[in-house]
Amino acid sequence: MQRVAFKMQLYKGFEAEYDRRHKEIWPDLQALLKSSGISEYSIFLDETTNALFGVLLIEDKTKLDELPSNPVMQKWWAYMKDIMESNPDNSPVSVPLKEVFYLP
């Protein structure tokens, strides 16, 4: 398994809405992520800066490159673009993070 970590930015005032949308995550999106080999996926919120920190485990991280072309992923991004920093294609602005410590 490979760990992947990244950060994104939530707009101020949308913390509760972000939480609500993720509590109601679409079953087809959940199925897509799992079928891509993701076995664990967490997103944390830094409440002082509204930075989002995501970490996931995936069998083969090259599979992540296939997600942007999936209609379900594109629909989710369009749904989320009003509450977080997004690129012109509606994908969230996402900054990869370098792992500097791991305690297995």
pLDDT in tens, 56-80: 999 999 999 999 999 999 999 999 9
Which of 56, 26, 57 lies closest to 44 in space, CA to CA? 56
Sorted by where each begins, the domain ranges of the chain are 2-89
The pLDDT score that the predictor gives to residue 93 is 98
Rg of the chain in Å (alpha carbons): 14
Q: Which two tokens stand for residue 86?
A: 């997004």
Confidence of residue 83 (pLDDT cuts 50, 70, 90): very high
Active site residues: 22
Which of 36, 51, 41 lies closest to 93 in space, CA to CA? 51
d(CA 1, CA 60): 7
The pLDDT score that the predictor gives to residue 59 is 96
DSSP 46-64: ETTTTEEEEEEEES-GGGG
Residue-wise pLDDT tens digits, 5-61: 999 999 999 999 999 999 999 999 999 999 999 999 999 999 999 999 999 999 999
The CATH number for 2-89, chosen from 3.30.70.100, 3.20.20.70, 3.40.50.10880, 3.20.19.10, is 3.30.70.100
Angle, helices 71-80/15-23, rounded to nearest 10 degrees = 150
Cα dihedral 10, 19, 30, 99, rounded to 10, equals 50
| Model pTM score | 0.92
